[in-house]
């Protein structure tokens, strides 16, 4: 659950969150060493391997290595001192990590992968206990394997359940920031992104450009063909926008027939080329209405570039450029520097 929250709020610090995950699960493995059941008078079993498997399945080799090192060192040195049992116990933890890395790679958690990993880890424990124990060993070893497998499958069920819960929450959070019709960012999310991109532009001294887009004579589409036709035009225009801009650019529906794009690493000269390409793409696109009718539209666009224009005036100047494009004939692009 903590890992899901880390992923949601610290996407730019993935390695850091993996280290934290490994640390937490390593300490959890240490705690499990104090919740044991006896194999015989001198040897006790625990489930310290499970935190290692969890760390690798969620955080890859980084989290797995951190958790394994903590468990390895604590079992070898601190739990009951250095002995043959502690050495083999530490080796068991290291072997489990290697097995997990080989099978639970690419963070693809599945029943088959987990079952193989769990079975090999249990097999490694059998080998270790066979070396440590001299007599009367197969019944307790069999008992351990049974309980370990059951506990491991319960852990898988829990992980899959939490993953589905995290995915559902992520989808809900994403939906709250998206326009229901086009799937683009909504106006509220766009304002937050705009603040973030301006801060990043200031920090790294890379220009960004705000492009405002408006569909020409969109009211006529609704009046002539109906609102479902207008919705079809809006959703298809969103696809044209996605195809025209890079994945790193942020596209939003501001409301009605107005759209906005933040174009990263783009100065006032380059935006003219990009905006003109968008204008041509829209002009040449055939929009299919719900009744099968083919329709064409045009757009007008206005741009303003930061830091050429200060943050407080960026939207205002881009809107002025858009207004100039519409009043000078539509189906054209203007930039704020030409006003």
| Paired tokens of 93 | 């933890």
pLDDT score recorded for residue 90:
83
Q: How many CB atoms lie within 10 A of CB 165?
A: 12
**Which residue among 135, 174, 195, 257 is the active-site one?**
257
Distance of alpha carbon 35 from alpha carbon 48, whole angstroms = 10
Find the helix or strand (DSSP H, E) in which 196 lies.
helix 187-204
Name 309's Cβ contacts closer than 8 Å, sequence gap at least 6.
Answer: 317, 336
pLDDT tier for residue 125 given thresholds of 50, 70 and 90: confident
For the segment 165-188, the average pLDDT, to the nearest whole number, is 80
Residue 289 has pLDDT above 90, yes or no: yes
Q: Where are the beta strands (DSSP E) in the chain?
A: 37-38, 44-45, 208-215, 250-255, 258-263, 287-288, 294-295, 299-306, 333-335
Catalytic, 257? Answer yes
Angle between helices 49-73 and 14-32 (to 10 degrees): 90
| Paired tokens of 38 | 């006896």
Name 42's Cβ contacts closer than 8 Å, sequence gap at least 6.
Answer: 85
pLDDT in tens, 229-274: 999 999 999 999 999 998 878 999 998 999 999 999 999 899 999 9
pLDDT tier for residue 35 given thresholds of 50, 70 and 90: confident
For the segment 112-132, the average pLDDT, to the nearest whole number, is 85
pLDDT score recorded for residue 288:
95
CA-wise closest residue to 64 among 35, 108, 119, 22: 22
Name 301's Cβ contacts closer than 8 Å, sequence gap at least 6.
Answer: 211, 212, 213, 214, 275, 278, 279, 321, 322, 325, 332, 333, 334
Q: Higher-confidence residue: 306 or 144? A: 306
């Amino acid at each position: 659950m903590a890992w899901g929250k880390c992923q949601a709020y610290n996407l730019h610090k993935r390695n850091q969150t993996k280290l934290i995950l490994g640390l937490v699960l390593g300490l959890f493995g240490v705690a499990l060493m104090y919740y044991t059941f006896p194999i015989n008078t001198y040897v006790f079993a625990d489930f310290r391997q499970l935190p290692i498997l969890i760390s690798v399945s969620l955080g890859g080799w980084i989290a797995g290595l951190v958790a394994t090192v903590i468990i390895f060192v604590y079992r070898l040195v601190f739990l009951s001192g250095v002995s043959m049992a502690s050495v083999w116990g530490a080796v068991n933890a290291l072997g489990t990590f290697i097995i997990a890395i080989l099978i639970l790679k690419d963070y693809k958690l599945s029943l088959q992968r987990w079952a193989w990993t769990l079975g090999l880890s249990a097999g490694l424990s059998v080998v270790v206990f066979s070396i440590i124990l001299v007599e009367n060993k197969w019944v307790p070893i069999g008992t351990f394997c049974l309980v370990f497998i059951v506990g491991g499958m319960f852990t898988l069920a829990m992980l899959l359940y939490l993953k589905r819960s995290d995915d559902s929450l992520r989808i809900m959070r994403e939906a709250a920031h998206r326009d229901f019709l086009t799937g683009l960012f909504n106006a509220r999310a766009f304002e937050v992104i705009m603040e973030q991109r301006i801060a990043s532009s200031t920090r790294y001294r890379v220009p960004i450009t705000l492009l405002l887009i408006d569909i020409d004579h969109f009211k006529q589409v609704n009046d002539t063909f109906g609102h479902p036709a207008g919705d079809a035009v809006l959703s298809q225009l969103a696809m044209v926008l996605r195809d025209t801009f890079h994945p790193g650019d942020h596209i939003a529906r501001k409301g009605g027939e107005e759209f906005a794009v933040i174009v990263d690493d783009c100065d006032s000269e380059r935006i003219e080329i990009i905006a003109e390409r968008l204008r041509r793409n829209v002009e040449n696109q055939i929009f299919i209405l719900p009744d099968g009718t083919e329709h064409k539209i045009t757009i007008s666009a206005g741009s303003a570039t930061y830091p050429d224009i200060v943050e407080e005036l960026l939207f205002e100047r881009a809107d002025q450029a858009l207004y100039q494009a519409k009043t000078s004939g539509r189906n054209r692009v203007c930039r704020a520097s030409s006003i």
